[in-house]
Amino acid sequence: MTTYFEHNLETVKSKLILMGQMANESLKTSMQALMESDSALAKSVRKKDFEIDELENELSNAITTYLSTHAPVAADLRFLVATMKISHEVERIGDEAKAIARRSRKTTTHDFHEIPKMAKIAQAMLKDALSVFVEFEEEKAKDIWKLDLEVDQLHQENNNFCQSVVEKDPSQASSVFETLFISKSLERVCDHAVNISKEAVFMATSRDVRHAPEYKKSVLRKEME
């Protein structure tokens, strides 16, 4: 019986990892669509987002069934609760990738400033966050939180850049704003990656670090100075 329960938990875990990999692939594809002005790639991201949504529904149903039939405690309960929360974060990343793909078809801008760098960091943060979920390492989680500060700074630089472009040529405003929204989507992706890593910390240690003073951005920023 225990082996059967363990198999169910492994199935849940595998589905979440697959979901995360699909979201990261969608993010990569949406950026490729942006950089190459490829509308076909942009459309493919929408299809992938539907698959991610379906996988989240499967996970949610599986976890709900497990909770109602097996009454898990301690570590197993934390695992299931964290997995459900993480799946929602991953689904939101898929939504942001879809938004980037959609906006890639609307912008005529060719200078994306720090957006490509943000995208690379975002993909790495998501990959590392999923790694922390699979094999807990709190220092790696903390590194993710510090990277988020760098992304915030890059987003601000994009904001300043877009503002200067519009000031010089107001006719580009519509296209430039689409680019700025893409930057914001990437910043949100990184926030979701941070949330995933924090849920992984809770799962492994039972500590809720979401609002822990020592992990606030202001404290982490001082550590990096």
The pLDDT of residue 1 is 46
The pLDDT of residue 66 is 86
Cα dihedral value 172, 191, 22, 124, nearest 10:
90
* Closest residue by Cα to residue 96 from 63, 138, 62, 125: 125
The pLDDT of residue 218 is 66
The pLDDT of residue 225 is 62
Q: Is 136 exposed, middle or buried (0-12, 13-18, 19+ CB in 10 A)?
A: middle
**Residues 108-163: pLDDT tens digits?**
888 889 999 999 999 999 999 999 999 888 888 888 988 999 999 999 999 999 99
What one-character-per-residue DSSP string does 29-65 give? HHHHHHHHT-HHHHHHHHHHHHHHHHHHHHHHHHHHH
**Structural tokens at position 225:** 């100075």
The pLDDT of residue 72 is 79
**Structural tokens at position 127:** 């990959």
Positions of the chain with pLDDT under 50: 1
Decide if 200 contacts 86 (C-beta within 8 A): yes
Type of residue at 54: E
CATH architecture of 2-224: Up-down Bundle (1.20)
The pLDDT of residue 4 is 58
Instruction: Provide the CA 186 distance to its chain's centre, in angstroms.
Output: 8
